[in-house]
Amino acid sequence: MSASEIRARLIEDAAVIYPGLYLNQFRAESIESQCKAFLAAGVRRIVINFEETELINSIGISILLGVIDSVNGAQGTLVLSNLNASNRELFEMLGLMSHVEMVDTEEIALLKLNGDPLQATT
Amino acid sequence: MSASEIRARLIEDAAVIYPGLYLNQFRAESIESQCKAFLAAGVRRIVINFEETELINSIGISILLGVIDSVNGAQGTLVLSNLNASNRELFEMLGLMSHVEMVDTEEIALLKLNGDPLQATT
Amino acid sequence: ARPASEFELVIPIEDDAELIAARTAEQIARAADFDQEAINQIKTALIEACLNAAEHGDSPDRKIHQRFAIDEDKLIITVSNKGKTFGRANGQATPALGAQPVKGARGRGLQIIRALMDEVEFERTDDGARLVMTKYLKRPGSQ
Amino acid sequence: ARPASEFELVIPIEDDAELIAARTAEQIARAADFDQEAINQIKTALIEACLNAAEHGDSPDRKIHQRFAIDEDKLIITVSNKGKTFGRANGQATPALGAQPVKGARGRGLQIIRALMDEVEFERTDDGARLVMTKYLKRPGSQ
Ligand SMILES: Nc1ncnc2c1ncn2[C@@H]1O[C@H](COP(=O)(O)OP(=O)(O)O)[C@@H](O)[C@H]1O
Ligand SMILES: Nc1ncnc2c1ncn2[C@@H]1O[C@H](COP(=O)(O)OP(=O)(O)O)[C@@H](O)[C@H]1O
């Protein structure tokens, strides 16, 4: 649990980031650095996939709000996917819905980012 | 966790019993009653499948030793299957290997009980 | 009818110790027959309670004490920490869980806890602070 | 280098409370980088230590106290119970975990614990008994 490395991969020109089991301050900060690195490298489409994420704390969410701002500020697009019911409840409670799009799966997120107008409505 | 019902099913003339997550005194006693009921009903081939069993305690094992004795006493055959490494280690430590056969899977256990001489050697 | 039974857990303020607390709470809540949705709410509330104890309690022993009492129809969790309380108002930086102070969703820990649990009481004690939060079992037909 | 960190857990003597203890131990041991085989050994040893505390300690508070200390290269678990000790020698039936006394694998709790842990010390204290068991982290190349 001391490991706070965040897994990430590039799918075509989109980056997908996996926060791991527990999104706390340290892991959120790792995501922040990774997003900055992706933006610096010219990547403008980013997905954060919460499939493996059991718990998220409010410090992690605060940092995530900053990440959303910096991606938006760089004319990028960020989509969150695979949130379980309670994490989604937490995000709604803290008003993230108005800042970022949340979809059910990574595939839908990637379709949204590719701007496929037909598929994106699913 | 207060539930100590033990799942069991009949496959042809063999009974398969599933001890659940934690084989403690109560669940071992349930297995004991079930085995008695199976023996009373004429069933002579019994498998206990530990696939879902995370932990086993020494009281549970003591009762299991009694179950092995009563199945043997009734000219029945009992085979244990799907023990994980640490549960098998515990059984070996307590000398159960000389009292009962342990095999990797429920299928192998059923084959052994059916006395298929070719398959039984696998 | 189950008699009240009590568990206690003390965790250090460090690393992801609150995650261990949340998972212990999960085991206890499951044994008390809470469903997975309620269990997740309890875990998230406990995480926030631990963050508050780490942030606002200037605890000399760097520990967070938790008590879990399973009653007939509810789970009562008490999270307490020693140390004189300090808020961010007096200019001290967040003491635990990293150096950088953060904004946004923070300042809303108690709000999150209140939304996820059924009853919440926060009180300053002689030597620290204590948060008592209760979650009721939803019984079939008890809506 | 990780500094020593300590967790404490108190469970009631009842139901499957020792299973909750074992799973908390699993979380702590995993955080301390033990592999799954060692974790399972620790869990089984802790279960047996709890059974002994329940069986032999005539604990007035019906509780089992546990301390988990993660050190550089080891996990030290202390299981203690209050109450004057009684063995089966003096004719009293097993007090906890059901009415029927059992034979066979019982009477071997300490043997199981010794086989699964690296160091085990059992001592009677002024007001009860204490078992201290240690498991070392296997470091690559430290055979
Ligand atoms: N465990 C605690 N010890 C002392 N004070 C606390 C504790 N928990 C909360 N408080 C006080 O209550 C206030 C509101 O807490 P909260 O809503 O969680 O916001 P935040 O913790 O983000 O400041 C805190 O600023 C602090 O003054
Ligand atoms: N927690 C304890 N409190 C008091 N006495 C204990 C405790 N654990 C073990 N003992 C003593 O040590 C003896 C050996 O224990 P053990 O090897 O586990 O066998 P068993 O518990 O099956 O009798 C017990 O009979 C008891 O007298």
User: Each residue of C110-126: pLDDT tens digit?
Assistant: 999 999 999 999 999 98
Per residue in A26-54, pLDDT tens? 999 999 999 999 999 999 999 999 999 99
Per residue in D25-69, pLDDT tens? 999 999 999 999 999 999 999 999 999 999 887 778 899 999 999
Q: How far apart are CA D39 and CA C7, in angstroms?
A: 22
Q: Is C55 within 8 Å of C95 (Cβ atoms)?
A: yes
Pairing of strands B101-103, B77-81: parallel
The pLDDT score that the predictor gives to residue C117 is: 97
The pLDDT score that the predictor gives to residue C83 is: 81
Residue A119 has pLDDT above 90, yes or no: no
Query: Letter for the amino acid at A114?
Result: N
pLDDT along chain B (122 residues), means of 10: 74 96 96 97 97 96 95 96 94 91 97 68 44
Task: Test D37 with B86 for CB contact under 8 angstroms.
Answer: yes
Q: Is C137 within 8 Å of C71 (Cβ atoms)?
A: no
D119: left (phi over 0), alpha (psi -120 to 50) or beta: beta
Distances from the Cα of B32 to the Cαs of A33, B54, B62, B73, D101, in angstroms? 59, 19, 11, 14, 15
By C-alpha distance, the chain D residue nearest B65 is D104
By C-alpha distance, the chain C residue nearest A65 is C104
End-to-end CA distance of chain D: 21
Mutation for testing the D interface, residue in C11, C34, C68, C78 having most D CBs under 10 Å? C11
Q: Backbone phi, then psi, for C10, in 5-degree steps?
A: -120, 125
Interface check for C41 against chain A (CB to CB < 8 A): the answer is: yes
Q: How far apart are CA A87 and CA A57, in angstroms?
A: 9
Distance from CA of B33 to the nearest CA of D (A): 14
By C-alpha distance, the chain C residue nearest D5 is C12
Percentage helix, strand, coil, to 5, in chain D?
35, 30, 35
Neighbours of chain A (3+ CB pairs under 8 A): C, D
Q: How far apart are CA C18 and CA C12, in angstroms?
A: 9
How many residues appear in chain A? 122
Query: Cβ-count burial of B40 within 10 angstroms (0-12 exposed, 13-18 middle, 19+ buried)?
Result: exposed
Pairing of strands D63-70, D74-82: antiparallel
Task: Test B2 with C30 for CB contact under 8 angstroms.
Answer: no
Q: How far apart are CA D46 and CA B13, in angstroms?
A: 39
Distance from CA of D49 to the nearest CA of C (A): 17
Q: Is D29 helix (H, G, I), strand (E, B) or coil?
A: helix
Residue B108's contacts (CB-CB under 8 Å, 6 or more residues apart) are: B81, B119, B122
End-to-end CA distance of chain B: 37
How many Cβ atoms sit within 10 Å of the Cβ of residue C105? 25
Chain B residues 30-49 with a CB less than 8 Å from chain C: none
Interface check for B22 against chain D (CB to CB < 8 A): the answer is: yes
Residue C3 has pLDDT above 90, yes or no: no
The pocket around ligand 1, CB under 6 angstroms, is made up of: C 52-53, 55-57, 81, 85, 87, 106-111, 129
Neighbours of chain B (3+ CB pairs under 8 A): C, D
Residue B107's contacts (CB-CB under 8 Å, 6 or more residues apart) are: none
User: Of the ranges A66-70, A97-101, D19-23, D99-103, which one carries the lowest mean pLDDT score?
Assistant: D99-103
B92: left (phi over 0), alpha (psi -120 to 50) or beta: alpha
| Spatial CA neighbour of D63 closest among D41, D76, D82, D47 | D82
- What is the Å distance from ligand 2's center to D127 Cα? 16
Furthest-apart CA atoms within chain C: distance in Å:
51
Query: Cβ-count burial of B5 within 10 angstroms (0-12 exposed, 13-18 middle, 19+ buried)?
Result: exposed
Tokens of D51: 């059974």
Residues of A in contact with D2 (CB under 8 A): 2
The pLDDT score that the predictor gives to residue D1 is: 45
Q: Is C1 helix (H, G, I), strand (E, B) or coil?
A: coil
Residue D89's contacts (CB-CB under 8 Å, 6 or more residues apart) are: none
Q: How far apart are CA C67 and CA C81, in angstroms?
A: 12
Q: How far apart are CA A58 and CA D81, in angstroms?
A: 38
Distance from CA of D89 to the nearest CA of C (A): 31
Q: How far apart are CA A26 and CA A12, in angstroms?
A: 28
Per residue in C64-95, pLDDT tens? 999 999 998 999 999 999 887 655 443 343 43
Q: Which helix (H) or strand (E) holds C140?
A: none
Q: Is A9 helix (H, G, I), strand (E, B) or coil?
A: strand
Q: Which helix (H) or strand (E) holds C113?
A: helix C109-116
Q: How far apart are CA C78 and CA B76, in angstroms?
A: 53
Helices (H), chain D: 17-31, 36-56, 109-116
pLDDT (mean) for C43-70: 93
| Spatial CA neighbour of B28 closest among B67, B1, B55 | B67
Per residue in D72-119, pLDDT tens? 999 999 999 988 765 544 334 343 333 344 456 667 899 999 999 999
The pLDDT score that the predictor gives to residue C85 is: 63
Choosing from D18, D52, D58 the residue with most ligand 2 atoms within 8 A of its CB, the one to mutate for a pocket test is D52
Nearest to D43 among B29, B55, B65 (CB): B55
Share the mean pLDDT of chain A: 91
The pLDDT score that the predictor gives to residue D3 is: 59
User: Of the ranges C32-46, C91-105, D119-133, which one carries the lowest mean pLDDT score?
Assistant: C91-105
Chains B and D touch (3+ CB pairs under 8 A): yes
Give the CA angle between residues D112, D106, D98 to the nearest 5°.
125
Mutation for testing the C interface, residue in D2, D11, D18, D20 having most C CBs under 10 Å? D20
